[in-house]
Structure 1
């Protein structure tokens, strides 16, 4: 049986669509990583605690345990547990909204903007609101064209990039490892922006993060629905 003359055109169209899905997906990943970096830098500079970098808070928790600092231990345990709860809540919102990014990002925007309305004489409630938002953010994109991505942490991205670089130096030509620098660059740029904003506005700078989350939610409406289904958690 002769192959269909349309098959090469169909394959080319599918490959073109996959490339565009990857580009749009990684642009979204970069934008959300900027948001995460901004928020983390704002929270860290204001309070000394990480908002999205739970590896740092975990190391600080271990040090607090070794020093017997019960107050700091309790605080850091609360921060880590809140981040975990935020991740769980993000998946639930994603499922209830039938995996549309807009409701999730609007919830995040509400939390970040609402955090600026809380009294700053006790930073903990503001910090917890921001941490829940960052936990939820991880449900916005989990993978792009089958490649796992992280939004609020970049250790995994740097590790995947480094392993890919090692394989490339050994002569292996696998795809996908270079794009792991995208979330790292996004978080780095976002952290610089967040640090500058915090110096000028203090914790009120979280309002900028909230506005950005809302705008990204509106922009996400332009992304085809079937692509969202591939980006967001099942």
Structure 2
């Protein structure tokens, strides 16, 4: 049996590593949420359709069905399906890439470049490419120290924050509820940046999103591989 002081020292090191893994993970979540917010704002202002917010597109799809607007129904069904396909591809690329973020982020950057260089108003595939990219983004981080996080949607994060706030007001001490504001803050900040970029550069502003994706992929190389495997979806 190991001496007690050694066990305590080992526990302290484990707790410090866990804390740093959590901080790095939340920093990555915030950065990826900024990317999602940027891209969604640029796409929405350029096309009137959401690029990552499928709850909004689902509501708009229901309205289009009710109004009998077949053209909008086809477009929005395609958007939702593209997002689902993107999530599936993100899982596959993440696994094939050894559960590292760089290969995934490079694929995302490539799709965003394609979307920027092919005008949205003349080529529907360009819009679908951007939506697939945002679907793939969700595979980059699924959890941080066991806490679920979302990158391209924040309704769940706000719901988890609100429920945690309610428990805290009742005198309970739930863990992790405050960090749910990280993706919301990141997406809000990114959307503001995206709106400013779109006003200046139009749809070409997606090139900034692509460049940011590459930067995040390169930065992720500094993150220990074991930590990245913990962040990314597990088998």
TM over 0.5, yes or no?
A: yes
In structure 2, what is the Cα distance between the partners aligned to 1:117 and 1:48? 18
Note the C-alpha offset of 1:4.
Answer: 2.7
Displacement after TM superposition at 1:189 (Å): 0.2
Partner secondary structure for residue 5 of structure 2 = coil
Counterpart in the other structure of 1:194:
194
Q: Which runs of 4+ in 1 moved over 4 A?
A: none
d(CA) in 2 for partners of 1:53 and 1:21?
28
Which residue does the alignment assign to 1:130? Answer: 130
Counterpart of 2:159 in structure 1 is 159
Please name the residue that 2:168 is paired with: 168
State the Cα deviation string for residues 85-110 of structure 1 (Å, max 9, x = none): 00000000001111011000010011
Query: How far off its partner does 1:113 sit?
Result: 1.3
Question: CA–CA distance in 2 between the matches of 1:49 and 1:204?
Answer: 16
**8 Å CA contact 1:37, 1:152 repeated in 2:** yes
Superposed CA RMSD in Å reads 1.1
Taking the aligned partners of 2:19 and 2:98, their CA distance within structure 1 comes to 25
Change (3 A) 1:220 1:2: closer
- The answer as to whether partners of 2:119 and 2:203 remain within 8 angstroms in 1 is no
Could you tell me which runs of 5 or more consecutive residues in structure 2 were left unpaired when the two chains were aligned. Answer: none
Which runs of 5 or more structure 1 residues have no equivalent in the other structure? none
Tell me the matched-pair count: 234
Do 1:57 and 1:76's aligned partners in 2 also have CA atoms closer than 8 Å? yes
| 1:84 aligned onto 2:45 | no
2:47 maps to 1:47: yes
- CA 1:110–1:181 in structure 2 vs 1: closer, same or farther (change >3 Å)? same
d(CA) in 1 for partners of 2:60 and 2:122?
A: 21
Describe the shift of the 1:84–1:2 C-alpha distance in structure 2 as closer, same or farther (beyond 3 A). closer
Q: Taking structure 2 as the reference length, what is the TM-score of the superposition?
A: 0.97
Partners of 2:56 and 2:119 lie apart in 1 by 26
Query: C-alpha separation between the residues in 2 aligned to 1:229 and 1:107?
Result: 19
> Structure 1's 43 and 14: CA in aligned 2 closer, same or farther, altered over 3 A?
same
Residue number in structure 2 paired with 1:150: 150
Following the alignment from structure 2 to structure 1, what is the Cα–Cα distance between the partners of residues 55 and 123? 21
Q: CA deviation at 1:183?
A: 0.1
Contact 2:26-2:182 within 8 A present in 1 as well: yes
C-alpha distance 105-170 of structure 1, shift in aligned 2 (>3 A): same
8 Å Cα contact 1:47/1:123 also seen in 2: no
Q: How does 1:155-234 map to 2 (within 5 A)?
A: 155-234=155-234
Alignment partners' CA distance in 2, 1:123 and 1:44:
16
Which whole-Å CA distance do the structure 1 matches of 2:220 and 2:138 have between them?
A: 15
Partner of 1:30: 30
